[in-house]
Amino acid sequence: MKHTDIYDVINDPAYLNAETVVCGWVRTSRDSKNVAFIALNDGTSHKHLQVVLDKEKFADPSAYLKLGSALRVEGTIVASQGREGGVEMTPSSIEVLGDCPAEYPLQKKRHTLEFLRTIPHLRLRSNTFNAVFRVRSVLAAAIHEFFQSRRYVYVHTPLITASDCEGAGEMFRVTTRPWNDRSATEEEYYKEDFFGQKAGLSVSGQLEGEMAATAFGKIYTFGPSFRAECSNTPRHVAEFWHVEPEIAFAELPDVIEVVESMIKNVVSVALQKCPDELAFFEKNFENGLIEKLNKLVNEKFGVVTYTEAIEILKKADVEFQYPVEWGTDLQTEHERYLAEVAFKKPVFVTDYPKQIKSFYMKQNADGKTVAATDLLAPGVGEIIGGSEREANLDKLLAAMQERNMTIDDYRQYIDLRRFGTVPHGGFGLGFERLIMYVTGIDNIRDVILFPRVVNKIF
């Protein structure tokens, strides 16, 4: 169907005074005495194209004014009469491609995000979701560009796996066997299963990423990870998109440097490419958003050790719900205090106690902490978790034994420490959490097409 994107019609002066065909859905409409107005949107542009119908030509425009209906409009692009300037369209003919009855749920100008979650298939047609998904797409491309231009190899790690990378017991099981209670042991039960052993959906591509990094030097993954966490919070989903770079010949400070330059780089791309969308979020979701993002691009992130962070939290003039004690994990309230009150910008917390972090992290010389870092962002909390990896075979094995892990399940991973082991490290970015930070939207369910959360598949 030959037509022009509404984005081009609005932004390219070549279309001014030209005969053009556009297609789109009616977002709003208004009928008055001599003219009728249609705001048409085809998804290519945050701004709608205003189509102004002369009632002398279109005596009964009612068929064209129904919200949600799909139209093909032929006409001329002219300078707008309105105060805001820009262009509008004077139609010569209109065709209804798809009628839309009044039961179409998007009738109001602005619906709550809670209501929109009840219509996940239609909410995408609202201004908010148009803006969220354009920013999401631009950020995804920027992440690829960041790594590609630095010679990282994009690898696709398996989604079905036999090993639990994070060891937190949050794996979804993958099975084809119907339920039965005849097997004497778990092993016996899974022997009959598709893979002949227990399998699940991967919580992280890191372990395979390390294998690829010790061959290709620098790699990244960008794909889904799955977590069967029962946390019904505004920042957890069961299926999220995970960016996991892994870098050979790198120590923790190198990892931190990559995180900071990646975040700054992709946020500045969003500032450049999505000005209309960010202005919309600023107006509707987070006052000061654009200034926050500009500041992020230009200011050094904070860095603090876990031990120092505990001191800061202990001195804080706040009643935390969870007590602060060296050795316990930071809760969201603590993370947000550090990022929002203490530093007022993204902050790396480093060198966590080893017992609250994963087996693969490099053990520090103090015998108590590991060379790990979480990046905490104001408004969101943890958006990145990363570390230098334990490259020493004996230390790695000891950490696994302390956690009662089945060493045999990790033979290939352990081999990396036997055959040309090197200092290396990487991190995992929760892509949706980055989008929350960039858009100011405070529920993860509203930055992913169809969220999967505990008790509900939308």
Residue 179's CB is within 10 A of a number of other CB atoms, namely: 6
Smaller CB distance to Mg ion: residue 209 or 385? Answer: 385
Residues in contact with Mg ion, counted by CB under 5 A, come to a total of 1
Q: How far is the CB of 430 from Mg ion (least distance, A)?
A: 9
Regarding 386 and contact with Mg ion (CB under 5 A), the answer is: no
Q: How far is the CB of 238 from Mg ion (least distance, A)?
A: 16
Rounded to the nearest 10 degrees, the angle between the axes of helix 275-284 and helix 252-273 is 90
Pick the binder of ligand 4AD from 165, 296, 304, 447 (CB under 6 A): 165
- What x-and-dash track marks residues 282-311 binding ligand 4AD by CB under 6 A? ------------------------------
- For Mg ion, the nearest residue by Cβ is 385
- For ligand 4AD, the nearest residue by Cβ is 430
Q: How far is the CB of 410 from ligand 4AD (least distance, A)?
A: 14
C-alpha 249/C-alpha 172 separation (Å) is: 33
Q: Which residues contact 239 (CB under 8 A, 6 or more apart)?
A: 224, 225, 226, 452
Residues in contact with ligand 4AD, counted by CB under 6 A, come to a total of 23
C-alpha 291/C-alpha 446 separation (Å) is: 23
Specify the stretch interacting with ligand 4AD by CB under 6 A; choose among 128-136, 234-242, 293-301, 333-341. Answer: 234-242
Regarding 385 and contact with Mg ion (CB under 5 A), the answer is: yes
The residue among 192, 89, 167, 132 whose CA lies nearest residue 449 is 132
The residue among 368, 374, 418, 373 whose CA lies nearest residue 396 is 418
Specify the stretch interacting with Mg ion by CB under 5 A; choose among 232-240, 268-276, 323-331, 385-393. Answer: 385-393
State both tokens at 3. 């037509």
C-alpha 274/C-alpha 280 separation (Å) is: 10
Regarding 237 and contact with ligand 4AD (CB under 6 A), the answer is: yes
Q: How far is the CB of 82 from ligand 4AD (least distance, A)?
A: 42
Q: How far is the CB of 382 from Mg ion (least distance, A)?
A: 6
C-alpha 235/C-alpha 443 separation (Å) is: 6
Tell which positions 419-458 bind ligand 4AD, by CB under 6 A.
Answer: 426-428, 430, 432-433
Residue 294's CB is within 10 A of a number of other CB atoms, namely: 13
When CB distances are held under 5 to 8 angstroms depending on the partner's kind, the choice from Mg ion, ligand 4AD, none that residue 165 binds is ligand 4AD
Q: How far is the CB of 333 from Mg ion (least distance, A)?
A: 16
C-alpha 293/C-alpha 376 separation (Å) is: 15
Pick the binder of ligand 4AD from 45, 50, 126, 206 (CB under 6 A): 206
Q: How far is the CB of 361 from ligand 4AD (least distance, A)?
A: 9
Pick the binder of ligand 4AD from 386, 423, 440, 451 (CB under 6 A): 386
3-class secondary structure per residue, 219-235: EEEEEEEECCCCCCCCC
Specify the stretch interacting with ligand 4AD by CB under 6 A; choose among 37-45, 240-248, 279-287, 412-420. Answer: 240-248
Specify the stretch interacting with ligand 4AD by CB under 6 A; choose among 2-10, 118-126, 139-147, 238-246. Answer: 238-246
For ligand 4AD, the binding residues (CB under 6 A) are 165-166, 204, 206, 227, 229, 236-237, 240, 242, 244, 382-387, 426-428, 430, 432-433
Q: Which residues bind Mg ion (CB under 5 A)?
A: 385
